[in-house]
Amino acid sequence: MTVSPRSEAAAGHNARGNALFAEGRHADAAAEYRRALALAPERAQLHFNLGNALESAGDPAAALASFRQAIELAPGLVAAHSHLGNLLRRLDRPGEALEAYRRALYLAPFERAIRYNIGTALLDLGRAAEALPHLEHAADGAEPHIPAFASVGEALIRLGRKALALDWFRRALHHRPDDHAARFGAAVCLLARGDFAAGWEGFEARFDMPRAPGLPIAGRRLTPGDLGAIAGRHVVLMAEQGFGDTIQFCRYAPMLRALGARVTLLVQPELVRVLRGLADAAVAIGEPTDAADFVCPLMSLPFVFATRLDTIPPPAPLGRAAVARDGERVRVGLAWSGNPAHVLDHLRSIPLTMLRPLLAVPGIEFHAVQNRATPGDLPLPRALHWHGPMLGDFADTADLIAGLDLVISVDTSIAHLAASLGRPTWVLLAASADYRWLEGRDDNPWYPAARLWRQGSDGWAGVIARVLAALAKGDWR
């Protein structure tokens, strides 16, 4: 068979593109693939190669177009479907990624890596129960897809099965001791059972994972061995995750000051006012601060201080005294939803309609202690006092909570704030409750003011029924 000069030239450009790609010269590789396509635009493999090069060169939009063109020319090209899914997932488009993976699985039903991809996309979508069988399939057999071990553990954590999840993370670490996701997952399970010695050390693996939290300023990372050398030095403590995480772990700031350090809290703008008294300065993320001698993410402080269950420091003193009640009515705050962008929000938040029975308990005045309501919450019940426009930041919310007798909250920042203020706080927890609430307890050593109400087999309906009974009996004091 005679090869045309155009085909031969296209093959040459493709070969040069492959060599350049292997050298990490992705933009140059893309140029060669484009030269090849100018000669042979009908070749799906060339479009696929160009997509890989463009993605690696930092042009995801063009890469998507190339992958889709490859699929249009060759619908049976499994790799194009898989790479399209991978790119969509990296672009935080998990629903589209899932469809691409499913098309790949239709073409290659026994490919464990594709099963793994489907499982991870389902996890991104918050559908852990659906993800689990795909991930278990990927991890099964004589030649398992090793990354699936840690993902099985992640799915099990989200389903509230942390003991079994720990076994999977340990299996992952047996195969790949440098699997940072598995090390972090195992740490979460250990912390949930109260094994702080191993848990906090493993929790540091979060900085070695993809999408690791960044540190916005330079400085030497604070370590356990530095505590004896911080007197007179400037330590900057940085928020790294949610509002609740910041509130929980800022309790260590006064401890560093007691050791002689000058402490700056670098936190979310909404928390600056309420946390200001804990440190020498509280600054919003993105605002300038003095050069640091040491920096430390707030969630690393339990590791730095070697915190154990019996050495957990008390909640941060936020400086709000309880407001005396006038009259006989009990004032109760409600927070039923958290950050809708949180991957687990669908597990943690509760539709306001489910809490309506609480509003009928006589002798209680209910106040919303969150500053936003979703369209599904509207219209708000008349029995619920709404303060949304007046709650500009957490200092405003703290002032409101100081005048309440009890706060009932889902697992969100309001629970941390109320319990830190020392107000009786009932925390409504999903079966997959976060590690910080520990397992099998209705109290919590991080927050002596908290009482935990955990989901059982009867779901949120059972939790609300128990809370309703306790409120009706006046069992809130």
Among the listed residues 321, 192, 306, the one whose alpha carbon sits nearest the alpha carbon of residue 252: 306
Q: CB of 186 within 8 A of CB of 202?
A: yes
CATH of the domain spanning 220-311, picked from 2.160.20, 3.40.50, 2.40.50, 1.10.3720: 3.40.50
CATH of the domain spanning 5-208, picked from 3.30.43.10, 2.40.30.10, 3.40.50.300, 1.25.40.10: 1.25.40.10
Among the listed residues 140, 156, 158, the one whose alpha carbon sits nearest the alpha carbon of residue 148: 140
Q: CB of 405 within 8 A of CB of 476?
A: yes
How far is residue 455 from each of residues 159, 350, 458, 464, measured CA to CA in Å?
A: 12, 12, 7, 9
* Contact residues for 93 (Cβ-Cβ < 8 A; gap 6+): none
Among the listed residues 382, 378, 386, 371, the one whose alpha carbon sits nearest the alpha carbon of residue 351: 378
Count of all residues that appear for the chain in the document: 477
Supply the pLDDT for residue 347. 76
Supply the pLDDT for residue 198. 94
Supply the pLDDT for residue 327. 63
Supply the pLDDT for residue 3. 56
For residue 353, the surrounding DSSP H or E stretch is helix 352-359
Distance CA 119, CA 145 (A): 12
Distance CA 215, CA 221 (A): 10
| 173: Cα separation from own chain's centroid | 22
Supply the pLDDT for residue 420. 96
Q: CB of 346 within 8 A of CB of 311?
A: no
Supply the pLDDT for residue 209. 81
Distance CA 30, CA 50 (A): 5
Distance CA 415, CA 426 (A): 8
At 291, which amino acid appears? Answer: A
Q: Can 220-311 and 330-472 be said to share one CATH topology?
A: yes
Name the stretches of the chain with pLDDT < 50: none
What percent of the chain lies above the pLDDT cut of 90?
81
| 334: Cα separation from own chain's centroid | 23
Supply the pLDDT for residue 322. 62
Domain boundaries, the chain: 5-208, 220-311, 330-472
Q: In terms of CATH, what superfamily is 330-472?
A: Glycogen Phosphorylase B; (3.40.50.2000)
